[in-house]
Amino acid sequence: MRVRELAEWLGATYEGDGEKELTSVAPLETAGGGELSFVGSRKAIKQAEDSAAGCLIVPMDYPSPSYRTVIRVAEPRTAFARAMNRFHPTQELKPGIHPTAVIGTGVEIGTLVAVGPHAAVGDHTRIGLATSIGAGCVIGKRVSLGEGCVLHANVTIYDNVDIGRGVILHSGCVIGADGFGYVLEHDRYHKFPQVGRVEIADFVEIGANSCVDRAALGVTSIGEGTKLDNMVHVGHNCRIGRHVVVAAQTGFSGGVVVEDYAVIGGQVGIGDKARIESRAVLGSGCGILTSKIVRSGQVVWGTPARPLKEHLEQLANLARLPDLRREVAELKRRLAQLESRA
């Protein structure tokens, strides 16, 4: 693809050699003369000076030297993501049901659906238009899958789960398993029946080996456009809002509420019935105590989580402890000398 063609497709302007042929995309450090890269940060601006990339997608105010071919856009990372789809288009869907797949009774399958080898689909399940079900997937009874969904290999969906349009579930996902609910009686734990459901809205993406538990009663829900990384656990009766981003190895205890556009880092632990309000940011590794409320727009870090400024002040104080200890030891020594003289 020529630079001018890509710029036109992106609705952007270019400078330099518009006839240059681009064959692929690559990082700034390794991109060659026929490859496209992008400048998305101040650090990247410095790296771009030494990059051999044939063309760069850059912000509008990028100080481009005369020898460099660039495409100027308002959001370089977003434009680069769109460009990547031109060089690496989504694998073409091949409709059809593999002979080894097992399809239950009363199943509704839309047109252009692909069901891979050794997949199993339970009774009275509905599969929407142009959905792809990978090898070894197991879909329970009375499941609803919207149009354009992608289930990679070995996804498991339990009974009575509703999934919207354009949802992507990566390998090893388990949707609708029982929540962790038990009652103690006579020194023994007895299972509290988990009879609720799971609802996943449109355009959600859930990473490999993540689990979303069904509600004990009611619904566990994930809102439109939310993205969960690999190995994320969503406990029973959680309500995750729209366009929430959650990094890997994060765990939500039962009944947690996360409002729209929150950002949650990796390895975060969130206690029962905590509430994360809209656009709050939880730093990686922090711990949210049971029933804690993180206010809208607040940035928190540490365990137990506290506002970022306070967390940084405490870290600074901890760093000063060795010096403080030496000072106290010196004061004690001088005090002992004064007492001995007295």
Tokens of 96: 């059809």
Cβ(262)–Cβ(278) below 8 Å: yes
Q: Which two tokens stand for residue 285?
A: 């590794």
Could you tell me which of 150, 193, 146, 144 has the C-alpha nearest to residue 169? 150
Cβ-Cβ contacts under 8 Å for 162 (sequence gap 6 or more): 143, 144, 197, 198, 199, 200
Question: 101-133 burial, b for 16+ CB within 10 Å, e for fewer?
Answer: bebeeebebbebbbbbebbbbbeebbbbebbbb
Q: Is the dihedral of CA 15, 17, 20, 25 positive or negative?
A: negative
Preceding omega of 304 cis (within 30 degrees of 0): yes
Residues 6+ apart with CB under 8 A from 296: 259, 277, 278, 279, 280
> 306-307 and 299-301 as β-strands: parallel, antiparallel, unpaired?
antiparallel
* Annotated active-site residue in 152, 170, 233, 236: 236
Q: Do the Cβ atoms of 33 and 51 come closer than 8 Å?
A: no
Q: What are the DSSP calls for 183-219, one per residue?
A: EEETTEEEEPP---EEEE-TT-EE-TT-EEEPPSSSE
Closest CA to 77 of 65, 60, 59: 59
Closest Cα partner for 165 from 200, 134, 198? 200
Q: Which amino acid is at 327?
A: E
Q: Is 236 a catalytic residue?
A: yes
The answer to whether the CB of 6 falls within 8 A of the CB of 22 is: yes
From residue 105, alpha-carbon distances to 48, 125, 139, 223, 294 in Å are 58, 9, 13, 30, 47
Query: What is the set of active-site residues?
Result: 236
